[in-house]
Amino acid sequence: MAIRKEKISSNDFFQVKRWMNTEPLCICSTQTVGEAAKIMEQAGIAVMPVVGENDQLIGLLSFRMILSNFLQDSIGSSLIEDVPVYLYDSVRSTDQMTDILQMQVECLPVVDPDNKIVGIITPKEMLDFYTKSMSTFQKKRNAIEILSSILESAYEGIAVVDEFGILIEFNEAYSRFTGISREEAIGRHVTEVIDNTNLHATVKTAIPERSVIQNIQGQDMVVHRIPIWEGKRVVGAIGMLIFEGVTEIYKIYENLQMNYRNKKQEGSPYSKKIKNNDAESSQVLGTSKEISEVKHIARRAAKTAATVLITGESGTGKEVFARNIHHLSSSRGPFVSVNCGAIPEALFESELFGYEEGAFTGAKKGGKQGKFELAEKGTIFLDEIGEMPLTMQTKLLRVLQEKEAERVGGVTKYKINARIIAATNKDLEEMISNKTFREDLFYRLNIINIHVPPLRERSQDIPILLSYYLKEVCNKYHIPMKSFNPEAVSALMSYPWKGNIRELINTIEQIVTLVDSQEIHLVHLPNSIKKMQWNQAEKVINVKSVSLLEKAKNVAEQVEKESIIKALTRAGGNKTKAAELLGIHRTTLYQKLKKHDID
C-alpha cells in the first residue's frame, strides 16, 4: 500500500531513504522455518521480510507464525513458502517519515518500483528519526508542533525525562498502556508514573540500554533507554516502549530448541561445548557506523562457505566475529578454535590432522582425531595464523586446495568438510615481503577479508560495551550493580585503548573489584585515564588563555593606532604637535608610525 502524501516539507530530512536500514535481514521463501527462527533469534527481531527468487517482497514472517509452525513440525523443516505470511504495508524511499509514524506496524519494508526490497523501517529507525528531529528542530519556531505530532502519532510508547528524572514528554501510546494521562504524567518524577523504570538512572550513568526487559504493570516489555547529550553533559533521556509479551515467545522457542538439541546431540562429547558457546559468546556489541559495516560483511560471509580472514589489533574481538559468522551460518557442526601461536612446532601437524596408533613414541592407543576432523560440518578457527610455521603453511595450503588431509602415520586420506576462518593481528603482506608467510596461502585464506577496527576508532560504542561488561563483571563477582557517572564515561570514551576491548574489560574488572562506591566517578578510574583527561582539560584551558591574551593584545594595538591617527588629524599632520597631544616623545611616535604602517 503506497501511503498518501501530505503537504509537508519535501526536504530530504523527512524522507524514508535518509532513515531506513539499507541492509535489512530478509529470508528467501525457499528456506526453512528453522533457518528463519535461527536468524531471528540471533538478530533479536520479531518480524522479518520474505522475498522471492527475484528478491521481490512477498510478505512478512513473524515469530508467532514460526511458533505456530513449530507446534506441528518441531524441527522447523517446513519451507517458508508453505507457511502463510501476513499482508503488509510497504513504503517508497521518497515517502515521509511523519506519515509512517501514523501507521501502527512493527516493521515496514521499503520497496522500489519493481517491488524489490531496498530497505526497512523498524522502531529503531523511528526512534532515531524522533531523536534527530528533536535535536534539529529544537531552535525552530515549528519544533513544538512537529515533535508533538511525532509523539502522538507514534505507535510505540515514548517518554522523555530531563536531567532530574522529571517527565517532560509522555505520548498517547504510553498513556493508553499505563492508564495515566499525559497531563497527569508530565511534571512528575518518572518513577511515580512508570513501573520498574530505569530512565532516571540513564541520565546519571549516560549509558544507553537497548532491547532490555522491563516489567510494567505485570507484563514484560522490551524498552530502549537513550541518553540525550548536550556537548559533554547529559541533559535528559528518552525511553521507548517497543512491544509486549516477548518473554513468553522466547521461552516457548527456547524450550523447543532445547528439546530438539538434546535429542540430536545426546551422547556427543561436544554437546556441552556447543551450548556454552551459544549466541552470547558470538554477540558483536556496538552500533557505530564503523562496527555496523563490519557486521554487515560478517552477515554476508555467513551465507557462504568461503574462507574468511579476520584482521585487526589484539583485543578487538576477532574470535567473537568468527563465532558470530559460525552461528549465523547454516552450519550444524561444532566451532573448533586453534591458537596457532600456542602449539609447539613439533606437534602442529598431529594437532591439526590427527595421528594413527603407533605413529610416534607416546602416541595414544587407537590414535587421535585432529582439529579438522573434530570440526566436521562445522567451523575451524585458526587464530594467530601469522604464527604458523612455514612447513605447516605448506601443508595447510595443500589441504585448502585438495579438501582432504592425512593423519600422521596414516596411509589413507580423509575428506575435509569444515569451514575455515583465520585471524591475525600481524601484517601478513609485510610478512610475505619478509618471506615469513606464503603468498599463495595468503590468497587462499583471504577470500573474504574482515578488518575489525580498533576501539579508539569507534568510541561511540564504548557506552554500550561499558553497560554490557559492567553487568557481566558484577554478576561474576556477586557484587551489587554499579554505574558510571557521565564524567567517567566521557573520560573512558576519550582514552585510546591500545589493548582494545580486552583492555576495557580488564579495566572494568579492576574498577568493580577495587571501588566500594556504587557510582564510579573520574577519580576512581586508573591513573593513566585520569592523567590523559586532566592533560586534555589543561590544554583546553591553555588554548583559551592564549586566545584571550591574543585578543586583548589585538584590541590594544587597534586602539593605539586609532589614537595616533586622531592626534595627527587634530595636529594637521604636524608630528611634533601630535606627540605632545599623545604625551609621548617624537622619536617614540615615529617608531609607532612605522609599527602601525601609518603614512
The pLDDT tens digits for 87-116 are 667 788 888 887 776 666 677 888 888 888
The residue out of 92, 120, 148 marking a domain boundary is: 120
71 and 191 inside one domain? no
- Minimum mean pLDDT range among 108-122, 404-418, 432-446, 574-588: 574-588
Q: Which has the higher per-residue pLDDT, 114 or 438?
A: 438
Number of domains in the chain: 5
pLDDT band at 386 (very low <50, low <70, confident <90, very high): very high
Please say if the pLDDT value at position 140 is more than 60: no
Residues 190, 222 share a domain: yes
Alpha helices in 358-406 (DSSP H): 371-374, 390-402
Which range has the worst mean pLDDT, 112-121, 245-254, 379-388?
A: 245-254
Domain finish residue from 120, 151, 179: 120
Same domain, 463 and 444: no
- d(CA 131, CA 259) in angstroms, rounded, equals 43
Q: Which of 340-344, 467-471, 498-502 has the highest mean pLDDT?
A: 498-502
pLDDT number for residue 258: 52
pLDDT of 421 reads 96
Per DSSP, helices labelled H in 107-158 are 123-137, 143-153
Q: For residue 240, what is the domain's CATH number?
A: 3.30.450.20
Q: Where are the alpha helices (DSSP H) in 306-380?
A: 318-328, 348-353, 371-374
Residue 250 pLDDT > 50: no
Please check whether residue 420 lies inside any domain of the structure. yes
Report yes or no on 2 lying in a domain.
no
Inside any domain, residue 513: yes
Residue 446: which of 300, 326, 311, 307 has the closest Cα?
Answer: 307
Asked if residue 539 has pLDDT above 70, the reply is no
347 alpha-carbon distance from chain centroid? 39
State the residue for C-alpha cell 546519571.
204
> Is 151 within a domain?
yes
CB within 8 Å of 35: residues ≥ 6 apart: 27, 76, 330
Q: What is the CATH number of the domain that holds 500?
A: 1.10.8.60
Whether 199 has a pLDDT exceeding 80, the answer reads: yes
Who wins on pLDDT, 361 or 267?
361
Upper half-sphere CA count for residue 35 (Cβ side, 13 Å): 19
Q: Residues 411, 469: one domain? A: no
CATH number of 586's domain = 1.10.10.60
Question: Does the structure show a pLDDT above 50 at 377?
Answer: yes
Domain end (from 192, 223, 247): 247
Give the Cα separation of 324 and 337 in Å (integer). Answer: 13
Tell me what pLDDT residue 251 has.
45
- Grade residue 247 by pLDDT with cuts at 50, 70 and 90: very low
Q: Please check whether residue 141 lies inside any domain of the structure.
A: yes
CB 307 within 8 A of CB 420: yes
Domain that holds residue 443: 281-451
Q: Is the pLDDT of residue 347 over 70?
A: yes
How far, in Å, CA of 448 to CA of 221, rounded? 39
Instruction: Give, in order, the Cα–Cα distances in Å from 432 to each of 314, 399, 440, 450.
Output: 20, 20, 10, 19
Q: Which residue has the cell 512491544?
A: 243
Long-range CB contact pairs, 108-116, < 8 A, 24+:
109/24, 109/49, 109/57, 109/60, 110/16, 110/17, 110/20, 111/57, 114/56, 115/56, 115/57, 115/90, 116/54, 116/55, 116/56, 116/57
pLDDT of amino acid 103: 65
pLDDT at 365 over 50: yes
CATH code of residue 285: 3.40.50.300
- For residue 544, give the amino acid letter: K
Residue 502 included in any domain? yes
**Which pTM does this prediction carry?**
0.53
Q: What distance in Å separates the CA atoms of residue 128 and residue 97, rounded to the nearest whole number?
A: 11
C-alpha cell at 144: 513544538
140 or 228, which is more confident: 228
Instruction: Tell me if residue 57 falls in helix, strand or coil.
Output: strand
- Residue 435 and residue 286 share a domain: yes
Residues 141 and 238 in one domain: yes
Mean pLDDT of 470-493: 89
Q: Are residues 34 and 176 in the same domain?
A: no
Give domain status of residue 270, yes or no.
no
Mean pLDDT of 227-252: 67
- pLDDT mean over 190-215: 86
The SS3 assignment for 1 reads: coil
CATH number of the domain where residue 78 is located:
3.10.580.10
* Residue range 54-71, pLDDT digits in tens: 778 888 888 777 777 776
Residues 564 and 598: beta-carbon distance below 8 Å: yes
Q: Which residue from 169, 161, 185 is spatially nearest to 235, judged by alpha carbons?
A: 161
Q: Give the model's pLDDT for residue 445.
A: 94
Q: Is the pLDDT of residue 334 over 90?
A: yes
Strand bridging mode 335-339 / 379-383: parallel
Residue 336 scores a pLDDT above 90 = yes
203 and 226 in contact (C-beta within 8 Å)?
A: no
Q: Which residue has the cell 577470500?
A: 447
Structure confidence at residue 276 (pLDDT): 40
Confidence of residue 371 (pLDDT cuts 50, 70, 90): very high
Quickly list H helices, 85-241.
97-100, 123-137, 143-153, 172-178, 182-185, 190-193, 199-205
Q: Do 453 and 294 meet the contact criterion of CB atoms below 8 Å apart? A: yes
- pLDDT value at position 218? 65
The verdict on 62 and 37 lying in the same domain is yes
Asked whether 320 and 450 are in contact (CB, 8 A), the reply is no
Strands 335-339, 368-369: pairing is: unpaired
**Do 17 and 137 fall into the same domain?**
no
**Residues 328 and 233 grouped into a single domain:** no
**Which one-letter DSSP state was computed for residue 385?**
G
Q: Please state which of the ranges 3-7, 181-185, 453-457 shows the lowest mean pLDDT.
A: 3-7
- Provide the pLDDT for residue 412: 87
Instruction: Note whether residue 7 is domain-resident.
Output: no
In the chain, what percentage of residues exceed pLDDT 90?
A: 22
Residues 178 and 59 in one domain: no
Q: Which of 157-171, 430-444, 492-506 has the lowest mean pLDDT?
A: 157-171
Please tell me whether residues 226 and 305 are part of one structural domain: no
